[in-house]
Amino acid sequence: AQLLVLHGPNLNLLGTREPGVYGHATLEQIDAQLQVQATQAGHALSSFQSNAESALVERIQAAREDGTAFIVINPAAYTHTSVAIRDALAAVALPFIEVHLSNPHAREPFRHTSFVSDLAVGVIAGFGADSYRYALDAALARLARAPS
Ligand code: DQA
């Protein structure tokens, strides 16, 4: 199957961005690891990062047409603000897992709400770059159970 990994704003800075919170892995390293993980399981994976809400909405909309079977998304700050990203995910109606490197619930109160969690298959947060690995593992297990 085709999987899509989406990264929201400022995640292009991973590696140098608040490493005490987000770790030292770069986005390129994370994407490369996910690529290997998906390929080894016999699936295809593409990754997309944008700092723009509109670009993320458009990429989610495109997922309905391009054969994407599952989305792994770290909406970053848009988690806490974006009705538009929530609506796009609801519109395409593809299963998705919400991912965070940090544990937003252990941080400022404004990070305690998510506009997408209630639509997600599940949420994985707090494990640094491993959060993505665990999320993809869960996505792959789900695809193996219900191939599409
Ligand atoms: C984040 C958590 C968000 O609160 C924050 O705005 C981010 C990254 C994370 O992965 O821990 O940019 O989604």
Q: What is the pTM (predicted TM-score) of this model?
A: 0.97
CATH code assigned at 7: 3.40.50.9100
What is the number of domains present in the chain? Answer: 1
- pLDDT 10s digits, 21-74: 999 999 999 999 999 999 999 999 999 999 999 999 999 999 999 999 999 999
27 is in an annotated binding site: no
Q: How many CA atoms lie within 13 A of 85 on its CB side?
A: 30
Q: Match 């961005």 to its residue by tokens.
A: 17
Q: How many angstroms is it from 102 CA to the middle of ligand 1?
A: 6
Report DSSP state, residue 146: S
Encoded tokens for 57: 């909405």
Per the structure, the complete domain to which residue 6 belongs is given by 2-145
Active site residue 22: yes
Provide the pLDDT for residue 146.
76
Cβ 61 vs Cβ 92: under 8 Å: yes
